[in-house]
């Protein structure tokens, strides 16, 4: 694709500027275009083209590869073959016959609007201020009042070819207009230069915002609801962590979801106002919004003074009602050719005094769903402040949500990775085996919480794996019950819950019986035996509340079965861990939680245990150089292979991945073969 056209470059710069400011459009919402000429390589003649943001992606980070490039003569010719509104969806396939060269990105449904409107530059955006006017009951009158004849009202219509024709006609009939408000949806502005289009867009957005600021009633969401104010921060977070697993389970009844939590004041203020139940029930309006948030949220109808137990019980009742309501919506609106129902669980759950939980197939999607509901709150505040919030009706929402074109987009999505939606907590994961395991789990699609003694090291390991949508680090001593609970809470607040625990934190003191102090004994047992008990207990509480099953994997050791000298404290603690595997496999199976173990041996590379002096000591005993210790150990194995941290990670993935779904209570040796440690 040619990349040097100045018109396209200018369009990218404008799009990035507009998309960088959340007041202008929601994440991945809206699209922009520019018309210009290029020399047709086939004829050597100039050819008129339109560059338009393609399907998917965000304006703020749009690159030239995200633009579709179409020939204007062919786009305009489509008008002559347009078969009418009933068959307007067919026009999307026709865009493929208008592409210039390879055409760049796939054209989106909004391509018609950009191609047909007779202006060199067009911006279609979803600003909160503009949508507030677009969803006000008297939006048409407000548009006139705010903008005079400079901005024209376009009644709601599902995006598509006809909407493009409508806007083109409006522009032609109103030469003085710089744009329009699209009822129930957003805005479109235009200009003869890129700069003029951007200026017109910003003028509409800022003028609407200023009008709302000046004319809004004092309490758009009604008076404060007594007892519904936000809890103090610590209590709010503790309450959120206590409720999160139940809420994630509710959101995951049809398919497992990752969660995101926010207690931003924009959310808690909304939930502390009298009108929030009525407004939440009305649902969101802009097509982008409710595709990500479902048509409406689930709202807990209890104040924060209710106990956790009362709240959990009520949430479960509300979940049943929500699913019934959603199925009713589907059944009322579905036609024989509608796609099958996509799941009836809420994507947004609102808890007064606490905040908002949002859900998606991964952390980024969950976070964006939350951002979209914040957009919806802003829209409702603006619309209610001036008028009455009146979103598009449910039949129209259904036509968008179950649109054949939307379904086709979903079908094109790549298959999820094997551990997608799973939330892993790996202890001792700032180093060695734990770090390799966390890396592998993340590579297989899991969200990972790295817990280790040192917060900075845990955060550094998390940053190495990926940004906060993939991995977060927490500081926790696994032998301290409060710290363990805090780590599980952090996991639950970061990703909505926990499904997969790897008890890996450990350390090794090799001493003879007579040299082992009481302190040595206690340290080995506190970190490994007690530590994994505490971590499993706190995580299992969340897993049981989620009702989504789970995995617990213990990194035990060859030394849990092998008997040799100078190892009484370490070996006994490892044997304790190994038997926890069997005991808890027997106990937690009733909740669908599998418990398995891995028995490594001789992992020198990357291991802090070896580099912390223990390796030097062993090397001296065996008369080899420390750097050759791994190879030396390899020669003692049956397979004569060196065991690396990644080999342990492979075993962890095998145990929790898609294949060993019917295996619990198992220990897998990863030691390159040590006959004295064979299991029987």
Ligand X SMILES: NC(=O)c1ccc[n+]([C@@H]2O[C@H](COP(=O)([O-])OP(=O)(O)OC[C@H]3O[C@@H](n4cnc5c(N)ncnc54)[C@H](O)[C@@H]3O)[C@@H](O)[C@H]2O)c1
Work out how close the CB of 533 gets to ligand X at its nearest, in angstroms, rounded to a whole number.
13
Which tokens hold the place of 336?
């024989």
Binding residues for ligand X, how many (CB under 6 A)? 28
Are 75 and 35 contacting, i.e. CB atoms less than 8 angstroms apart?
A: no
Nearer to ligand X, 300 or 603 (CB): 603
Whether the CB-CB separation of 501 and 449 falls below 8 Å is answered with no
Nearest approach, Cβ of 462 to ligand X (angstroms)? 13
Task: Name which of residues 142 to 201 contact Zn ion (CB under 5 A).
Answer: 186
Closest separation between CB of residue 427 and ligand X, Å? Answer: 6
Find the binder of ligand X among 92, 430, 649, 651 (CB under 6 A): 430
Q: Judged by CB, which is closer to Zn ion: 186, or 434? A: 186
| Rama region for 9: left / alpha / beta (φ>0; ψ in -120 to 50; rest) | alpha
Q: Is 603 in the site for ligand X (CB under 6 A)?
A: yes
With binding defined as CB under 6 A, does residue 581 bind ligand X?
no
Within 494-523, the residues that bind ligand X by CB under 6 A are 504-508
What does the DSSP 8-state code read for residue 155? Answer: -
Q: Cβ closer to Zn ion: 31 or 246?
A: 31
Backbone angles phi, psi at 152, to 5 degrees: -110, 140
Tabulate helix, strand, coil % of the chain (nearest 5).
50, 15, 35
Q: What stretches of 480-592 adopt beta strand conformation (E)? A: 500-503, 550-555
Distance in Å, CB of 190 to Zn ion, minimum = 15
427 binds ligand X (CB under 6 A): yes
Binding segment toward ligand X, per CB under 6 A, in 296-304, 582-590, 594-602, 619-627? 594-602
- State in angstroms the smallest separation of the CB of 657 from ligand X: 20
CA atoms within 13 A on the CB side of 639: 11
Q: Which of residues 523-542 bind ligand X (CB under 6 A)?
A: 527, 531
Active-site residue, selected from the candidate residues 27, 326, 570, 633: 570
Tokens representing 660? Answer: 């060993």
Binding mask 555-574 for ligand X (x = CB under 6 A): x-x-----------------
Burial 366-376 (b: 16+ CB within 10 A, else e): bbbbbbbbbbb
Cβ pair 118, 171 in contact under 8 A: yes
Cα 472-478-484 angle, rounded to 5 deg? 65
**Closest to 38 in 3D by CA, of 64, 78, 6, 77:** 6
Alpha helices in 44-84, H assignment, sequence order: 72-81
Buried b (16+ CB within 10 A) or exposed e, 204-237: bbebbbebbeeebeeebbeeebeebbbbeeeebb
Region from 182-190, 245-253, 607-615, 634-642 binding ligand X, contact rule CB under 6 A: 607-615
Residue 178: name its binding partner from ligand X, Zn ion, none (Cβ under 5 to 8 Å by kind): none
Among 103, 360, 391, 434, indicate the residue that binds ligand X (CB under 6 A).
434
The listed partner (Zn ion, ligand X, none) that binds 607, CB under 5 to 8 Å by sort, is ligand X
Catalytic, 322? Answer no
| Contact assessment for residue 612 and residue 432, using Cβ atoms and an 8 Å cutoff | no
Residue number with CB closer to ligand X (406 or 526): 526
Out of Zn ion, ligand X, none, which partner does residue 527 contact, by CB within 5 to 8 A per kind? ligand X
The nearest distance, CB 677 to ligand X, in angstroms, is 10
596 in contact with ligand X (CB under 6 A): no
Size of the chain, expressed as the number of residues it contains: 680
- Residue 163 interacts, among Zn ion, ligand X, none and using kind-specific CB cut-offs from 5 to 8 Å, with none
600 lies in the binding site for ligand X (CB under 6 A): yes
Distance of closest approach, residue 479 Cβ to ligand X, in angstroms: 5
- Would you say 187 or 539 has its CB closer to Zn ion? 187
Smallest distance from the beta carbon of 182 to ligand X, in angstroms? 54
Given a contact cutoff of 8 angstroms between Cβ atoms, the answer to whether 53 and 31 are in contact is yes
For Zn ion, the closer of residues 121 and 260 by Cβ is 121
Alpha-carbon distance values, 638 to 604, 643, 645, 671, 672 (Å): 17, 12, 19, 9, 6
- Which lies closer to ligand X via its Cβ, residue 71 or residue 435? 435
Please check whether residue 278 is in contact with residue 301, taking contact to mean a CB–CB distance below 8 angstroms: no
C-alpha span between 114 and 126 (Å, rounded)? 15
Gap between the Cα atoms of 274 and 279, Å rounded: 10
* Residues 471-490 contacting ligand X, CB under 6 A: 477-479
Select the residue interacting with ligand X from 370, 428, 497, 550 (CB under 6 A).
Answer: 428
Q: Please answer whether residues 314 and 304 qualify as being in contact, where contact means their C-beta atoms are separated by less than 8 angstroms.
A: no
Q: Which residue, 256 or 475, is less far from ligand X as judged by CB?
A: 475
Taking Cα atoms as reference points, which of 613, 615, 552, 609 lies closest to residue 586? 552
Q: How far is the CB of 498 from ligand X (least distance, A)?
A: 16
Nearest to 30 by CA among 63, 7, 8, 52: 52
**Could you say which of Zn ion, ligand X, none residue 32 binds, taking C-beta under 5 to 8 angstroms by partner kind?**
none
Closer to ligand X by CB, 400 or 448: give it: 448
Choose the contact partner of 609 out of ligand X, Zn ion, none; CB within 5 to 8 A by kind: ligand X
- The interface partner of residue 107, options being ligand X, Zn ion, none and the CB cut-off 5 to 8 Å by kind, is none
CA 143/CA 152 separation, integer angstroms: 7
Half-sphere exposure for 300 (CA within 13 Å, toward CB): 32
Q: Which is nearer to Zn ion, 29 or 245 (CB)?
A: 29
Q: Nearest residue to Zn ion, using CB?
A: 186
Residues within the interface to Zn ion (CB under 5 A) = 186
Query: Which of the residues are catalytic?
Result: 570
Residues within the interface to ligand X (CB under 6 A) = 427-428, 430-434, 452-453, 477-479, 504-508, 527, 531, 555, 557, 600-603, 607-609
């Amino acid at each position: 694709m040619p990349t040097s056209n100045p018109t396209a470059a200018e369009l990218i710069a404008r799009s990035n500027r507009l998309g960088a400011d959340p007041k202008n459009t929601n994440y991945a919402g809206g699209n922009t275009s520019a018309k210009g000429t290029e020399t047709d390589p086939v004829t050597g003649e100039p050819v008129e083209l339109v560059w338009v943001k393609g399907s998917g992606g965000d304006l703020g980070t749009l690159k030239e590869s995200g633009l579709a490039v179409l020939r204007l003569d062919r786009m305009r010719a489509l008008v002559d073959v347009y078969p009418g509104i009933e068959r307007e969806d067919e026009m999307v396939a026709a865009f493929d016959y208008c592409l210039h060269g390879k055409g760049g990105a796939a054209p989106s449904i909004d391509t018609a609007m950009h191609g047909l409107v007779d202006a060199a530059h067009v911006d279609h955006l979803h600003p909160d201020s503009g949508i507030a006017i677009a969803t006000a009951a008297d939006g048409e009158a407000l548009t006139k009042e705010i903008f005079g004849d400079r901005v024209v009202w376009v009644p709601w219509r599902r995006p598509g070819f006809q909407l493009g024709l409508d806007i083109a006609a409006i522009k032609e009939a109103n030469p003085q207009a710089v744009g329009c408000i699209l009822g129930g949806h957003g805005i479109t502005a235009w200009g003869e230069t890129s700069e003029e289009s951007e200026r017109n867009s910003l003028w509409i957005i800022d003028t609407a915002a200023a009008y709302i600021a000046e004319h809004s009633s004092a309490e758009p969401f009604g008076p404060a609801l007594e007892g519904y104010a936000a809890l103090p921060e610590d209590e709010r977070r503790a309450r959120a962590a206590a409720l999160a697993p139940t809420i994630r389970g509710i959101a995951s009844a049809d398919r497992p979801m990752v969660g995101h939590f926010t207690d931003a004041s924009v959310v808690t203020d909304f939930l502390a106002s009298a009108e929030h139940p009525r407004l939440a029930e009305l649902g969101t309006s802009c097509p982008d919004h409710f595709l990500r948030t479902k048509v409406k949220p689930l709202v807990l109808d209890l104040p924060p003074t209710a106990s956790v137990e009362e709240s959990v019980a009520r949430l479960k009742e509300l979940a049943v009602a929500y699913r019934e309501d959603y199925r009713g919506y589907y059944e009322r609106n579905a036609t024989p050719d509608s796609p099958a129902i996509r799941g009836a669980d809420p994507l947004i759950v609102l808890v007064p005094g606490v905040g908002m939980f949002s859900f998606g197939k991964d952390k980024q999607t969950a976070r964006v769903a939350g951002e979209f509901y914040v957009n919806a709150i802003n829209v409702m505040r603006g619309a209610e402040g001036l008028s009455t919030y009146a979103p598009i009706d449910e039949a129209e929402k259904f036509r968008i949500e179950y649109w054949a074109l939307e379904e086709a987009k979903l079908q094109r999505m790549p298959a999820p990775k094997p551990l997608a939606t799973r939330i892993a907590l790996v202890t001792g994961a700032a180093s060695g085996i734990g770090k390799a395991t966390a890396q592998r789990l993340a590579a297989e699609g899991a969200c990972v919480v790295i817990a280790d003694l040192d917060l900075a090291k845990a955060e550094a390991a998390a940053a190495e794996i990926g940004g906060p949508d993939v991995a977060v680090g927490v500081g926790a001593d696994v032998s301290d019950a409060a710290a363990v609970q805090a780590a599980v809470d952090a996991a639950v607040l970061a990703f909505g819950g926990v499904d997969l625990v790897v008890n890996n934190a450990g350390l090794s003191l090799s001493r003879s019986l007579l040299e082992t102090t009481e302190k040595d004994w206690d340290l080995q047992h506190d970190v490994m035996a007690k530590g994994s008990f505490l971590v499993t207990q706190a995580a299992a509480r969340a897993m049981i509340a989620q009702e989504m099953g789970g995995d617990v994997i213990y990194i035990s050791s060859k030394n849990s079965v092998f008997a040799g000298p100078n190892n009484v404290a370490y070996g006994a603690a490892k044997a304790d861990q190994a038997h926890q595997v069997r005991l808890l496999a027997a106990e937690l199976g009733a909740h669908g939680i599998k418990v398995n173990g891995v028995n490594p041996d001789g992992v020198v590379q990357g291991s802090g245990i070896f580099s912390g002096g223990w390796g030097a000591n062993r090397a001296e005993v065996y008369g080899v150089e420390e750097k050759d210790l791994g190879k030396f150990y390899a020669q003692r194995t049956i397979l004569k292979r060196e065991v690396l941290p990644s080999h342990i990670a492979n075993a962890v993935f095998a145990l929790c991945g898609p294949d060993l779904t019917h295996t619990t209570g198992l220990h897998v040796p990863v030691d390159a073969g040590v006959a004295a440690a064979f299991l029987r």
